[in-house]
Amino acid sequence: MRTNIVLDDALVAEAFQYAEAASKRDLIDTVLREYVQNHRQKNLLDLFGEGGIADDYDYLCMRTTRETP
């Protein structure tokens, strides 16, 4: 999608210090991806306390060693 926007020059310059971007387009793309990823992670944290480990889960069964022939 092509669009024209006015950006804060000081903010863009600071963002370039943290990102390995070669152009403003790359910088904006990186920032948008990180923004979306950050919010997806926050949505996962909202699930804390929901569900969890089943009462009948046997954690010891995963620790048993297999016999090799």
In a domain, 68, yes or no: no
Residue 63: per-residue pLDDT: 76
Contact by Cβ (8 Å): 30, 21: yes
The number of domains in the chain is: 1
User: Is the per-residue pLDDT at 61 higher than 90?
Assistant: no
The whole domain housing 16 covers 9-63
pTM, whole model, 2 decimals? 0.57
Question: For 65, which DSSP code?
Answer: P
Residue 67: per-residue pLDDT: 62
How does pLDDT run across 17-58, given as a tens digit for each residue?
999 999 999 999 999 999 998 888 777 667 776 667 777 887
